[in-house]
Structure 1
Amino acid sequence: MTHTYDIVVLGGGTGGYVAAIRAAQLGRTVAVVEKDKLGGTCLHRGCIPSKSLLRSAEVYATMKESESYGISTSGVELHFPKVQERKSGIVEQIHKGVQYLMKKHKIDVFSGNGRVIGPSIFSPRSGAVSVEQADGEIVTLVPQHLIIATGSRPRSLPGLSIDGTHVLTSDEALELESLPESIVIIGGGVIGVEWASMLNDFGVDVTVVEYADRLVPTEDADVSKELLRLLKKRGVKVLTQAKVIAETVTAAEGAVTLKVEQQGELKELAAEKVLVSVGREANVEGIGLENTDVKIDKGFIRVNEFMQTAESHIYAIGDVIGGLQLAHVASHEGIIAVEHICGHNPEAMEAHRVPRCVYTRPEIASVGWTEEQAKERGFDVKTAKVSFKPLGKALVYGENDGFVKVIADKSTNDILGVHMIGPHVTDYISEAALAQFLNATPWEVGQTIHPHPTLSELIAEAMLAVDGQSINF
């Protein structure tokens, strides 16, 4: 059976279904091919389930500290199966919402493995998609334009075997039926530190092994330093500039042992489980790219600023193209691709203007260049760093660790970067992102009236502090 469409999206994750909706809004006929469930990694194995677990961990940690709020509690117990049940309920609710959106916008959804096919009787050029459905039926979709949005999967270390029981990736960790007593996390990037924070709050003995010289090495150095201090304060053990020797990871009698080389010294670690969190690799295999002229560069599909591949009618978005592997980036790339297809002349995305969030306790949020990156690019910078310590709302919350740091250009007064670590900072980083997008100056943001008492007041104070005009700090 053959169907024709204006646009076919191969992959129904966040980027894929957003692209499909935008195409339908612009009057195009659209189909989505998804081999698993609509929503992809973000909904089922990433953003949403992990944040649900993080929230439960946060509540549990707060309840254990309730005396400091004047509330006496007794018998506080963690029922991890119920934590997982809550997580699954949230995921399923959102999944139903995505399914509803497909119906609302009259988008056809084909469940099955999709492969791009080359020129054939169906189409004189590559880009048609053959879908093998669960019942064995083969359906061919012939689009004018194809958008590849097949996402990514957890990466492992060469020579390290992921058995799903003792040595896990985040995929398996999300499905744990019970918590381990101890865990070693290989990788101190975003996913690694989120799991470290979460499991520590759940009462797990956590050790993080990071190859770089600091945690979350893509963030500002001051943020990394503060996160390390706070995690260590909570009892998380951290080894930086450390390399796991993959072939030494062994599991026996409910324990995993591994050797770690740190600055020439060999150390042996043992834990009930090991979580491998060393990045993600693109799903480019088994989707028929060999039948096209689409180029692969370092494991990712190569695209231009409008998401076009080497074949102009084939686009690619999201994790499969590398770059910032974030759900909101994939969504934005999907919109750029669709609007470019439809002749709307979208603006290319500037990666440094994308807000980035880390959901540790406390949270991290940033946009723009780090101080080091700004200096490397030749900017003469001025900076300010203002602490949450004396902020009224932070004291009320009982969460006043962290700071807001602003980096600006001395000559133009442009905001180059805003970096925050502190309570709920992911909820108000968008103000800084908007300020950068509109080319606002620190003074203009500081002059914007911020309500009191709020956590967002600290953004205004930090912006004013760049020029020594902070009122309360």
Structure 2
Amino acid sequence: MTTHAFDIVVLGGGIGGYSAAIRAAQLGKNVAIVERDKLGGTCLHRGCIPSKALLRSAEVYAAMKESERFGIEADGVRVDFGKVISRKNGIVEQLHNGLQYLMKKNKITVYSGIGRIIGPSIFSPRSGSVSVEQEDGEILTLVPEKLIIATGSRPRSLPGLDTDGVRVLNSDDALRLEKLPASAVIIGGGVIGVEWASMLSDFGVQVTVVEYAPRLLPGEDEEVSRELERLLKKRGVTVRTGAKVLADTLQKSDSGVQLAVEHKEARHMLEAEIALVCVGRQANVEGIGLENTDVKVEGGYIRVNDVMQTAELHIYAVGDCVGGLQLAHAAGHEGIAAAEHICGHTVHHYASHQIARCVYSRPETASVGLTERQAIERGHQIKTSKVHFKALGKALVYGESDGFVKVIADSATNDILGVHMIGPHVTDLISEAALAQLLEATPWEVGQTIHPHPTLSEILGDAMLAVDGKAIVV
């Protein structure tokens, strides 16, 4: 058995893990990453990047089918799904190659294999060393001063709806589809379910979304949820909210699936070529050796403090495995925070409400801060504004004028409590609102920023001014 000593070992090479590794290397540490699959993790290979590549292709196809609105006649437009997949794979591969280059540039040692944390041993008097089982069967032992756990998450399943990758799929399976189904039942109307519903609908698939909660995107502002549901229905998506899937009714055949749902005190039988289960993600905390440590797991997630330390202070954890907002950009920030704390730097502490949340459906939604209901429940006296994209010249030029920007502010302090958007390209607009919250700007201050005309960004300035009745376009 071979042993190697490092300042820091990172268990998991997703965005949280590689961000931590790169930042630590920049700060002069000798760093290793252990990854059982490919560098980039879920985000690069099974999540953010491949799904957004497919969403972009679906968006382009939908725009081409509506090109007559722009005075463009395009006959015979069709989807070559093989080429769609090829494009998606090419983007992933390009980014994967770039990530491998970053490892070499920063002199980070990458071990490919299954990593497990080991307890006190002849290699170290404390837990935190990592045993790596490589593909050829050789076992390596890595002995770090500090360990960062970044093992990520996987799609959550529903009892009775076990995925088979053919008729009942999760989001990982769906990204491996070689052809488009004619129809799909999507179980779950959260972020992942909504994005797949939008994408498949744009590709021409008949889609039904079943959500147990009373509305789609139950964690977002209610007005945004209602508008998204309205627009999806307008595109032909069937939406059943407040509906319970009866898993024991599932029947699979060579042609598709059947299952029943309870909706408004009635039972409905749904049929489709595939069922896509999108009910969230669960942390990868099993089989990594936590039982050999004093690291605490609560509610299925590793417990950490505000600088990402576990109960064993030399062991850190970041990303989806610690719960909270399971977002790639949150994981990246946590990884950097952990690395900087290890290196003795002051860590920027963030609150979850300061992290922007994005849904890449058509139209997109984006938000930061509290919803209106959350603000009221927390005792704030609020004032709000809402400016619609149909009042914006650039939105009309784009031909995408559905949606709005909503601002929620505290009446007494004038603090911005939340910003919620649904409409064209809002995932690129939300960062300004997030910066405003971070800097504790007031709506008036953001409104005084001179946004160029004509741009979509004007709407945020107008919405901020509208909080106090000063907007020009409202």
TM superposition shift of 1:349? 1.8
**Structure 1 residue 113 and structure 2 residue 114: aligned?**
yes
Taking the aligned partners of 1:158 and 1:26, their CA distance within structure 2 comes to: 46
Shift of 1:6: 0.7
Q: TM-score, normalised by structure 2?
A: 0.99
Q: Matched residues, percent identical?
A: 73
The range that moved more, 372-381 or 343-352, is 343-352
Counterpart position of 1:415: 416
SS in 2 for 1:332: helix
Distance between the aligned counterparts of 1:103 and 1:219, measured in 2?
41
Displacement of 1:208 in angstroms is 0.1
| Aligned residue identity for 1:199 | L
**What is the CA distance between 1:238 and its match in structure 2?**
0.4
Cα deviation per residue 1:440-460 (whole Å; 9 max; x = unaligned)?
Answer: 100000011000000000000
User: 2:469 corresponds to which residue?
Assistant: 468
Residue 211 of structure 1 corresponds to 212
In structure 1, the partner of 2:39 is 38
Q: Distance in 2 between matches of 1:204 and 1:160?
A: 22
State the Cα distance separating 1:135 from its structure 2 match: 1.1
DSSP 3-state at the match of 1:203: coil
Structure 2 matches for 1:126-145, cutoff 5 A?
126-145=127-146
Counterpart-to-counterpart distance in 2, 1:334 and 1:379: 33
Q: Distance in 1 between matches of 2:72 and 2:375?
A: 46
Q: Secondary structure at the match of 2:470?
A: coil
Deviation at 1:254, TM superposition (A): 1.0
In 1, Cα distance between equivalents of 2:265 and 2:316: 46
2:170 corresponding residue in structure 1: 169
Secondary structure in 1 aligned to 2:432?
helix
Shift, 1:18, TM fit: 0.5
Kindly tell me the number of residue pairs found equivalent between the two proteins. 473
Q: Which residue of 2 aligns with 1:100?
A: 101
Question: Structure 2: which 5+ residue stretches go unaligned?
Answer: none
Question: What's 1:318 paired with?
Answer: 319
Distance apart, 1:382 and its partner CA: 0.2
CA deviations 1:1-48 (Å, max 9, x no partner) are 111111100000011000000000111110000000000000000000
**Equivalent residue number for residue 340 of structure 2:** 339
* Partner Cα distance (1:160, 1:223) in 2: 30
Cα distance in 2 for partners of 1:249, 1:179 equals 22
What residue identity is the alignment partner of 2:203? F
**Where does 1:175-254 land on structure 2 (aligned, <5 Å)?**
175-254=176-255
Query: Aligned letter for 1:89?
Result: G
The structural deviation recorded for 1:273 is: 0.3
Measured after TM superposition, the shift of residue 253 of structure 1 is: 2.8
**What is the CA–CA distance in structure 2 between the aligned matches of 1:316 and 1:292, rounded to whole Å?**
13
Q: Which amino acid in structure 2 is aligned with residue 453 of structure 1?
A: P
CA distance in 2, matches of 1:347, 1:453: 36
Compute the displacement of 1:432 (Å): 0.3
Other-structure match for 1:18: 19
| Residue 372 (structure 1) aligns with | 373
Q: Distance in 1 between matches of 2:40 and 2:251?
A: 35
AA in 1 matched with 2:206: D
Q: Which amino acid aligns with 1:139?
A: L
The match for 1:429 is 430
3-state SS of paired residue (1:121): coil
Structure 2 counterpart SS, 1:384:
strand
Q: Distance in 2 between matches of 1:422 and 1:266?
A: 34
User: Gaps (5+ residues) in structure 1?
Assistant: none
What residue in structure 1 maps to residue 331 of structure 2?
Answer: 330
Aligned-partner SS, 1:178: coil
Aligned to 1:263: 264
Alpha-carbon offset, residue 263 of structure 1: 3.3
Q: Residue 347 of structure 1: CA displacement?
A: 2.5
Structure 1 match to 2:150: 149
Cα RMSD (Å): 0.6
Q: Which amino acid aligns with 2:411?
A: K
User: What letter corresponds to residue 132 of structure 1 in structure 2?
Assistant: E
Equivalences for residues 376-455 of structure 1 within 5 A: 376-455=377-456
Partners of 1:328 and 1:471 lie apart in 2 by 35
Distance 1:158 1:296 in 2: 22
Structure 1 residue 126: deviation in Å? 0.2
Deviations 1:40-81 (A, max 9, x none): 000000000000000000000000000000011111111000
Distance 1:358 1:263 in 2: 28
Deviation per CA, 1:183-233: give whole Å up to 9, x if none.
000000000000000000000000000000000001100000000000000
Give the secondary structure class of the aligned counterpart of 1:290. Answer: helix
| C-alpha deviation, 1:390, in angstroms | 2.1
1:329-374 alpha-carbon deviations (Å, 9 max, x no partner): 0000011111111111213220000001000001001000001111
Letter in 1 for 2:131: S
Give the Cα separation in 2 of the matches to 1:345 and 1:458: 36
For 2:340 and 2:350, how far apart are their aligned partners in 1?
Answer: 13
Q: TM-score of the superposition, structure 1-length normalised? A: 0.99
Report the residue type matching 2:367 in the other structure. Answer: S
Q: Is the Cα–Cα contact under 8 Å of residues 117 and 129 in structure 2 kept in the other structure?
A: yes
Report SS of the residue matched to 1:431.
helix
Q: Which moved more, 1:166-175 or 1:338-347?
A: 338-347
Secondary structure class of the residue paired with 1:146: strand
- Distance in 2 (CA, whole Å) between partners of 1:339 and 1:265 is 55
Quote the offset at 1:247 in angstroms: 1.7
Q: Secondary structure at the match of 2:390?
A: coil
Between the aligned partners of 2:71 and 2:151, the Cα distance in structure 1 is 50
